[in-house]
Chain A
Amino acid sequence: MILLQSVVNGVLLGLVYALIAAGLSLIFGLMEIVNFAHGQFLMLAMYGAYWLAVLYGVDPLFSLPLWTIVLFLLGVATYWLIIARVLRAPMLAQIFSTFGLGVFLQSLAQFFWSPDFRLVPSPLVKGRIEILGLFVGIPELVASLGAVIAFALLYLFVTRTETGRALQATSEDREAAALVGIDSHRMFALGWGIGLACVGIAGVLLSNFYYIFPEVGFPFALIAYVAVALGGFGSIPGAFVAGIIIGLVEVLSGLLIGPAYKYLFVFLVYLIVVFTRPQGLFGRY
C-alpha cells in the first residue's frame, strides 16, 4: 500500500518535473543552448505568486495567467538581450551567459527577500483527499493536473498550429527553415518565451505547497537537466516520460533507501543514462 502511495506521489511530482523539463528541452532543441538559469526563473515565478498572495491577497491560482505571461516576456527579453548575442560565441560564453544570469537572479532574490523559507499563507487549494485508500494532496493534484494541461496545450501548439510547426521546423533544421522564410531569431525568441512560460506555470503551481526560498529552483533545474538528458535533448515527449520516471525514482528511492539520498539516485540515473545512451531515450541523434 505504502509502495502504491509512493508511486502515485512520484507520478504527480514527475508531471511537474516534466513541465519544467519541457521548457528546457524546447530551448535546447531550438538552438543547442542549455538554460542554466532555468531553476532561477522557476524561483522567480514562485516568489511572484507568493508576493501577490501576501501583499494583495491574490491566490496563486488566480495569478497563474499573469505570471505565465510575465515569464513569457522575460523569456523573450532574455533571448534578445543575452542569448541572441552569444549564439555564435564559443560554448564557454554560452554556458556562462545563462549561468551568470542564474547566479544574478538567485543572489538578487537572496538580497531583497532574504534566505528565509516562506509559504503562501492559506492558499485556496489545500488539504488532501482519499481516493481508493490512497491519500493525495490536493495542491499536488492540482499542480500535476495543471502540468498535464499545460503540456497538452504545448504539444497541440507545436504540432497543430502554423507557428508551432515553424518552431519545429526550425528545431529540426535551422537552415532549411530559413530557406522557406522562417525567421529563426523570431522562433528562438518564441522558444524562450514558451520555455519560460512553462517554468512560470510550474512555479506558480508549486508555490501552493512548496517552501519558497532563493535556492529553491536549483534542485528543480538539476532534475530538469536530468530529465532532458534522459528523454533526449530537444525531445518534448521525451521530457514528459523522463519527468515521470524521475519523479518515481526520487520518491521510491526516498522511501526505500532514505529521503536524504533521493537526489543521489536521480543523479545516478542521469549518469548511467548519458553513459549508456548519450542521445537519451527519445534522442534524435
Chain B
Amino acid sequence: MTQELARRSISENLSRWGKVLLGVILAAFLLGYPFVFTGPFPQHLMIRIFLFAALAQAWNILGGYCGQISLGHAVFFGIGAYTSTILLIYWHLSPWLGMVVGVLLSLVATLLIGYPTFRLAGHYFAIATIAVGEIARVLVTNWPFAGGAVGLYVPLLPEGLRTFEFHTTKVPYYYISLLLLLAVTTTTWFLERSRAGYYFRAIKADPDAARSLGIPIHRYKLLALAISGAFTAMGGTFYAQYVLYIDPESVLPLMLSVIICLVAVLGGVGTLWGPILGALVLIPLSEGTRVYLAGMGGAGRAFDLIVYGALIVLMSVFEPTGLIGLWRRIQRALEVRVSYARLAAARRGEQTVRGPGSQ
C-alpha cells in the first residue's frame, strides 16, 4: 500500500493544467526577473546561480548519472575561458567562435583525460582527476603566452551581442546564462530518457554487470565526459566574457572543481533538479556571506566554505541523496499521512478527503 503510494509523488498528482500554470509562472518569473530587480547585485546573484547550476548540471551528467566522480572539472572551465580569450586577444576571433573552438578543444581534452583515467575505478579516478587539474593549472601558470600567473584581460570592445561584451548592463549576461542552463538541463532531460541515460545509470550502479549486458562502458563514460566537459567549457567562455579577466587562480583552481560538484552533491546527484536546487541554496549563501563579511577581507571569504564543508559532511552522513532526497522523503511522509487521513475518512463513511493527493 505505502509502496504504491511512494511511487506517486505529489507532482505526478498535480493536474496537467496545474503543471502548465506552474511552468508559465516560472517562465514569466525568469524572463521578467531582470526588469523587476534592476540593481546590479540581484542580477549578478542570479547570473551566478545560473552559471553554477549549469556547471553543476554538466558535472551531474558524468558524476551523478554515470557515477564517475571528477574533482578536476575546472580543467574544462579553464579550456573554455582561455581558448576564447586567447583567440580574441591574438587573432581577434569572436568569443562566440571562441566558445565553439573551446568546446572542440574540450572534446580533445576528453579523449586525453578520459582515455587513460577511465580505466581507474572509484577513488583512483577521483584522485587522477585532481592530478590532471593540478597539472593544467601549473602548466598555464607557467605559460607566458597565456598570461602566466598574471592572467589575461579580455580586450574591451564595443558592447553588443556580436562582441559578447556588455559594460553598461548585466541583462544580456542574465539571459545568456539562463540559456546555458536551459541548454544543459534540456540535454540532461533527453539523456535521462535515452539509451545513453539508461546505460550511464547502469555503469554507475555496477560496471561489470553493465558489461555483461553488452554495454561498452568505456565508450559511454567518454560520451558522458564529452557532454559534461563541453558544457563546462561553454561556462568558461561565458565567465571570461562576463568578468573580462581570467587567471589560473580564478578559472583553474581545485576549489572551482570542488564547488561545481558540491553544488550538484548538495542538491542531489543523478537527478534533473538537484543541481539547480543546489545552486539556488549554495550560491546565495556564498554570495551573501561574502558581501556580509566583505569587511573581513580574506578571512570573510572563507566563511561560505565553512558552511559548505559542514553541509557536505552532514549531507554525506545523513542524506547522501541531497536536498532532492530530503524533499522526496518529506513528500512521502506527507503522502502517507494523506493516505491515512483518507483511510480514516473512508472508515467514517465519507467520500473523499481534500488533500494534495486527491484529484
Contact = CB atoms under 8 A, between A and B. Distances in A.
Do A and B assemble together? yes
Interface class of chain A by DSSP: helix
Given A91-B122, A91-B123, A100 B316 contact: yes
A263 B138 contact: yes
A268 B298 contact: no
| Range of interface residues on B (Cβ < 8 Å) | 35 or more
B316 A34 contact: no
B69 to A, nearest CB: 6
A103 interface: yes
Contact of B320 (A90, A104, A226, A264): A90
Interface in B129-151: 130-132, 134-135, 138-139, 141-142
Interface in A247-285: 258, 260-261, 263-264, 267-268, 270-271, 274-275, 278
A273 to B, nearest CB: 11
Interface stretch (A108-116, A172-180, A235-243): A108-116
Interface class of chain B by DSSP: helix
Given A111-B302, A271-B132, A274-B128, A96 B315 contact: yes
Contact of A97 (B122, B126, B127, B313): B313
A10 to B, nearest CB: 19
A115 B298 contact: yes
B295 interface: no
Nearest to A34: B123
A77 B283 CA distance: 31
A85 interface: yes
A34 B126 CA distance: 10
A103 B312 contact: yes
A222 B123 contact: no
B265 interface: yes
A105 B131 contact: no
Contact of B131 (A32, A34, A115, A222): A222
Interface string B208-236: 00000000000000000000000000000
Contacts of A95: 69, 123, 126
Nearest to A81: B317
Interface of A: 28, 32-34, 82, 85-86, 89-97, 99-108, 110-112, 114-115, 214, 218, 222, 225-226, 229, 233, 258, 260-261, 263-264, 267-268, 270-271, 274-275, 278
Given A90-B320, A100-B315, 19 more contacts: A34-B123, A34-B126, A86-B316, A92-B316, A93-B316, A95-B123, A99-B71, A99-B312, A100-B310, A106-B309, A107-B305, A107-B308, A111-B300, A111-B302, A114-B299, A267-B134, A268-B135, A275-B116, A278-B119
20 contacts: A82-B317, A85-B317, A89-B320, A92-B63, A92-B269, A92-B320, A97-B316, A99-B258, A104-B305, A107-B302, A107-B305, A107-B306, A110-B299, A110-B301, A111-B306, A226-B131, A260-B141, A260-B142, A264-B139, A271-B116
